[in-house]
Structures are given as structure tokens and as C-alpha cells.
Amino acid sequence: MRNFLAFVLIFASTLSFSQETVTFFSSDSLEITADFYEAKAEFPYVLLFHQAGSSRGEYRDVAKRFQKLGYNCLAVDLRSGGEENFVPNETAKKAITMGFPNNYLETKKDIEAAVEYAYKKSNQKVVLVGSSYSASLSLVIGKTNDKVKAIVALSPGEFFKPLLDVKQEITGLTKPVFVGCSQREFPYAQEYESVINSKQKVFFKPQDGPGEHGAKSLWEKADTGKSDYDSSKEYWMALLVFFNQIKG
């Protein structure tokens, strides 16, 4: 593990990062906005999806840390959302203006379009990172999509019943999975462990702090309003180990 951490530090110091806003289209022709964080053109992609009422701004700082692990990142505005870190959700604005349906389940089209976009750019399988409702959809989509290598699901749950039962849909999932959540959420998230058959599955909760909901758990000092402990360090250490295992 020490060797891997040393590699990450040395490797990251040799990279120069860039960021640009890109657009592509979902299967129902809604234009989707995303922020593309490039480390190196030949790297695989991590796709970053936000939680309810949010935007691609949820990953403004987080994306840069994934870049240091050797990934290009695509932080996507899903059609159901609002604003985060002063970044408005452009896809949601277009969906409302143009009359596209924009409930949680409709965002499956946006996630699938992002997978296609990133795969065409790199010709490599992608890693999905979902937050709250998009964590659940990432598990569902990732199970059967051959272009998905692994899934990081932060605070997944049953947000769609009776229209969709997440536990039922992901039964038999065999791809590498990292499920992270707060201490309070852990008993609910752990219910998925019995139906995921992956040999590489991690169910994580912080030990020394309460944690936070969704991708906000990865923000530095996200939970200091609840305690004096920054549990994001625990999440990142667990993710480092997971990404080391799925490399190659």
C-alpha cells in the first residue's frame, strides 16, 4: 500500500491537468452538459454523477483527485438537478425549457449517453461514480453495460419504488463495486451486499466520524459541522485501495 501511495504522489506530480465544458446528446435528443477534466488523452475515464438538486459542480474539486489516480474525468449535469458550488445544472435547465421529462429515472438516458461518449473517446471501459440517486442508477446500469468496468456508489438507496427496485435489479452483479456511505446510512446500504456477487466488493463507512451523504463525503472537511473529524480522508484511503485493485 505504501508503494502504491508513493507511486500516486510521483505520478501525479508529472501530470498537467486541463478542464473544459463539453456537450453531447442523450437517446431522446436532450443536449447534456459536462465538465471534462483531462489528465492524459490515453487514460480511461471516470464518470461523475451528482445527487438530487445538484450539478456537475458537486465534483469541482473531487475530479482533480481522481485525475491523480490516472483517470480522465467527466462530471455530468443530469436532467434532474439544480446548482452546486455556484455551478448551475445546464442540462436540467434545458430539460425544463424544452419540455423533456426530468424525473430521477429519466436520468438513466443521460448516464448511458455519458458512457457512450466516454467510451468512444477512449475505447476503454469506464468507471461510474454515482451520488445518492445516481449511485443507485450507476449500479443498475453498470450491471449489464459491457462498457462499464466498475462502479463507485456513494449513498445508494431505494429512491424509485414502486417503479424500480434497485436491490432486485442489481442482483447478480459481478463487476467490482465500492459502496460508501455515512455511519447512519450504512445499515440500509449493506442490504445490497447479499445480492452483489462480485469478488471485488467493498462496503465502507467511516470509523471516526459520521460521514456525509453522497459525493459530499469526498469533500475535504465536509462533515466538520457534525464533528471535529474530517472523515473524507478515510473515504479517500479506502478508494485508493479499491482503485489500485481494479487497475489494469
State residue 85's pLDDT score.
Answer: 95
**Residue range 34-54: average pLDDT?**
98
- The amino acid that residue 5 corresponds to is L
**Residue range 230-247: average pLDDT?**
95
φ, ψ at 196 (rounded to 5°): -95, 120
Residue 14 has pLDDT above 70, yes or no: no
Domain borders along the chain are: 2-246
**Residue range 64-73: average pLDDT?**
96
Alpha-carbon gap, residue 44 to 73, rounded angstroms: 9
Tell which wins on pLDDT, 5 or 203: 203
Residue 212 has pLDDT above 70, yes or no: yes
State residue 230's pLDDT score.
Answer: 85
Residue 30 has pLDDT above 50, yes or no: yes
State residue 227's pLDDT score.
Answer: 67
**Residue range 69-92: average pLDDT?**
98
Q: What CATH superfamily classification does 2-246 receive?
A: Alpha/Beta hydrolase fold, catalytic domain (3.40.50.1820)
Residue 167 has pLDDT above 90, yes or no: yes
State residue 224's pLDDT score.
Answer: 63
Tell which wins on pLDDT, 123 or 1: 123
Three-state helix/strand/coil letters over the chain: CHHHHHHHHHHHHCCCCEEEEEEEECCCCCEEEEEEEECCCCCCEEEEECCCCCCHHHHCCHHHHHHCCCCEEEEECCCCCCEECCEECHHHHHHHHHCCCCCHHHHHHHHHHHHHHHHHHHCCCEEEEEECHHHHHHHHHHHHCCCEEEEEEECCCCCCCCCCCHHHHCCCECCCEEEECCCCCHHHHHHHHHHECCCCEEEECCCCCCCCCHHHHHCCCCCCCCCCCCCHHHHHHHHHHHHHHHCC
State residue 12's pLDDT score.
Answer: 47
State residue 6's pLDDT score.
Answer: 47
Q: How confident is the model at residue 221 (pLDDT cuts 50, 70, 90)?
A: confident
**Residue range 207-215: average pLDDT?**
93
**Residue range 120-137: average pLDDT?**
98
Q: Average pLDDT over the chain, rounded to whole?
A: 93
